[in-house]
Amino acid sequence: MARVKCTVEYDGTRYSGYQIQPNGKTVQEEIEKALTTMHKGQHIRIISSGRTDAGVHAKGQVFHFDTDLSVPENRWVRALETLMPPDIYVKEAAYVPEDFHAQFDVKAKEYRYFVRPAKSRDVFRRRTVFHFPRQLDIGKMEEAVKYFEGTHDFTAFCSAKTTLKGNKIRTITRAELNRNGEELEFIVQGDGFLYNMVRIMMGTLLEIGEGKKEIDTIPRALREHNRRLAGFTTPGHGLFLWKVSY
């Protein structure tokens, strides 16, 4: 048996999330279906770096699986492309040591969230950018975003629906807001993320930019662990899992 590490990108619009679930089409299901076909009906289970919610996209999701097939590294990508829908693409595949683990070996993840703060909609970006048709003070948002950096308890920026039992302390090594034409790009990198954490962080920045919250809302929410101090949860379709580092 050999272990294969893959990097996959996908448009999450049509899917009920990444991870297999009882009801709804998922990205993991489509990948495992393709691998099972390659293995002549033998079910192949993949282990991923983590899950993404319904509508969320990925540029750099990572998974691994074990195989007894003797396929050259450069053939995996081509073979999987012929078996999967056009909105999922395994762009890299490589053999790795058998002790590599796509979930437990993760050192950092990077997410990016895209917002269009304009009155007019862009119909061609409607599936990948959150349209926010209200005026924003971008300068205040750029100042506020740096408060996310460092090691904090992110309880205030986690959905109440989380099933996590352990602590909610995470270290954010990079948090920045960039202007790209009419769009804003929120980039955040850290050693781990809680359920809906990035989407709540984005919602908080938008409320600060709109004048509904002050800049010191972020350090106060982090300090008091109070979800009600943080902002709303932005929709999933503006979010991308951008990169996973090992």
């007019």: which residue's tokens? 120
How is residue 212 written in tokens? 């509904």
Considering Cα of 82, then 86, then 111, then 198, what sign does the dihedral take? negative
Q: Which residue, among 244, 245, 242, 243, has the nearest Cα to 128 in the 3D structure?
A: 242
């969320």: which residue's tokens? 56
| 53 has catalytic annotation | yes
Active-site option among 11, 53, 137, 216: 53
- What is the distance between the alpha carbons of residues 50 and 102, in angstroms, rounded to a whole number? 8
Strand 88-96 and strand 2-10: the pairing is antiparallel
Which residue numbers are catalytic? 53
